[in-house]
Amino acid sequence: MTPLSGLVVVALEQAVAAPFATRQLADLGARVIKIERPGVGDFARRYDETVHGQASHFVWLNRGKESVSLDLKSDDGRATIQTLVSRADVFIQNLAPGAAERLGLSADALREENPGLVHVSISGYGDGGPYSTKKAYDLLVQCEAGLVSITGTPDEPSKVGISIADIASGMYAYTGILTAIIQRQQTGTGVTIEVSMLEALSEWMGYPLNYAMYGGEAPPRTGARHASIYPYGPFTCGDGNLVFLGLQNEREWAVFCERILEKVELTQDQRFSRNSLRVEHSDALRSEIERAFVGSAAEEIAAKLESAGIANAVLRDMHGLADHPHLEARDRWRTYDSPRGQLRGLIPPVTFAGSEPLMGAIPDIGEHTDTVLAEFGMPRSSGAS
């Protein structure tokens, strides 16, 4: 038994947000039936060809799902998806605003046949405001949520390097679905869930938002440094590599001066006597720190910091993450299948004792159309291509 064994999800999904939510469900044992356009499928399939000819986004987001190819522009296709949803626990969609309703897939319409249905819609901005129909790509939502304004260097703002608005909304959809299933067990009725990318990411902006609303100014852009704690961030070592460290209190500052910088007198220096002053005089303190680091490699400095109980990290690239010794030691990697051969991936971060995540195969476009329609008593001609 897996935690979500028996849960049936029909997903009219594309790109990142909804597929991220449903892949979490699939890994935990839910049956996810992914509806794709005939011939082309989810457009994320064509973002790149880096994973044995497959798109890196798609293989990340779609393992363990069944792909059913339907032409939803046809009457048969619409009737077929409605039949599938009538026997599902969850329907999730992240089409353009209003598209699901035009296809007859609104919560009210589907719940006439399936009163217990959990109906989930993910959109860029949510219904009812002036931005409801505005296109909402991840970068654009990062801008609207203010994230780009506080990310980057003093000279240039920057987006986050992953699809963080999509991921945030996908995670809220995932947790919302689990919450709705619990509520349905108590009430016996379905739930309608709406998740907005802007609102999901705005929730994650709570610290800088409060800082600006009540402090008068937003936290400055500081690159990989911290806007309000110092020393906290990257420092150059003798081998030219970076080590990152973070001090949280005065006790750690004293230990850092004594054991790492070997200059106890800095604890008495009025420029550095408390955190706010260390932030104010960060350039001078950076010079002191990097002078102490110049004779050692980053790995040596990290080991010294670790021995002293100072939080630290070395800067890893993606190959460094793929070979991370801690992930390897904790047995976090598994292999799973795809149309182009086996792939290697991390198991979900929430570990259930006694339960192994499924890590199912990546589906080809329409790979399961015949078997799924036959199971539901429908011929392939029912809108399938």
pLDDT by residue, tens only, the chain of 385 residues: 789 999 999 999 999 999 999 999 999 999 999 999 999 999 999 999 999 999 999 999 999 999 999 999 999 999 999 999 999 999 999 999 899 999 999 999 999 999 999 999 999 999 999 999 999 999 999 999 999 999 999 999 999 999 999 999 999 999 999 999 999 999 999 999 999 999 999 999 999 999 999 998 898 888 888 888 999 999 999 999 999 999 999 999 999 999 999 999 999 999 999 999 999 999 999 999 999 999 999 999 999 999 999 999 999 889 999 999 999 999 999 999 999 999 999 999 988 888 888 899 999 999 999 999 999 888 765 566 5
What's the pLDDT at 385?
59
Copy the structure tokens of residue 121: 């819609």
Tokens of 98: 């209003």
Instruction: Please state the separation of Cα 110 from the chain's center in Å.
Output: 29
Instruction: Give the pLDDT score at 283.
Output: 94
Closest CA to 199 of 99, 123, 133, 135: 123
Q: Which two tokens stand for residue 375?
A: 């199971």
Residue 180 and residue 184: Cα distance in Å, rounded?
A: 6
Helix (H, G, I), strand (E, B) or coil at 242: strand
Identify whether the C-beta of residue 146 lies closer than 8 Å to the C-beta of residue 213: no
For 83, what's the count of Cα atoms within 13 Å in the CB-facing half-sphere?
Answer: 18
- Angle between helix axes 164-187 and 17-27 (nearest 10 degrees) is 50
Distance separating alpha carbons of residues 272 and 254, to the nearest angstrom: 11
Q: What residues pair up with 36 in beta bridges, in sequence order?
A: 69
Q: How far is it, in rounded angstroms, from Cα 368 to Cα 26?
A: 15
The question of whether 226 is a catalytic residue gets the answer yes
Side chain identity at residue 224, one-letter code? A
- Give yes or no for a contact between 17 and 173, defined as CB atoms under 8 angstroms apart: yes
Structure tokens at 15: 């790109």
Both tokens of residue 256?
């850092």
Please tell me the pTM assigned to this model. 0.89
CB contact at 8 A, 57 and 34: no
**Radius of gyration over alpha carbons of the chain, in Å?**
25
Per-residue pLDDT at 40: 93
Q: Give the pLDDT score at 226.
A: 85
Q: Which domains does the chain have, with CATH numbers?
A: 8-204+332-375 (3.40.50.10540), 232-321 (3.30.1540.10)
pLDDT attached to residue 169: 97
CB 42, CB 58: distance < 8 Å: yes
Question: What's the confidence (pLDDT) of residue 219?
Answer: 87
- Token digits of residue 217: 């100014």
Which of 86, 113, 90, 84 is closest to 183 using CA atoms?
90
Ranges of beta strands (E only) in 167-303 are 191-196, 232-236, 242-246
Which one is catalytic: 52, 226, 281, 319?
A: 226
Helix pair 164-187, 197-204: axis angle to 10 deg: 100
What is the structure's pLDDT at 381? 59
Strand residue runs (E) in 75-127: 90-93, 118-123
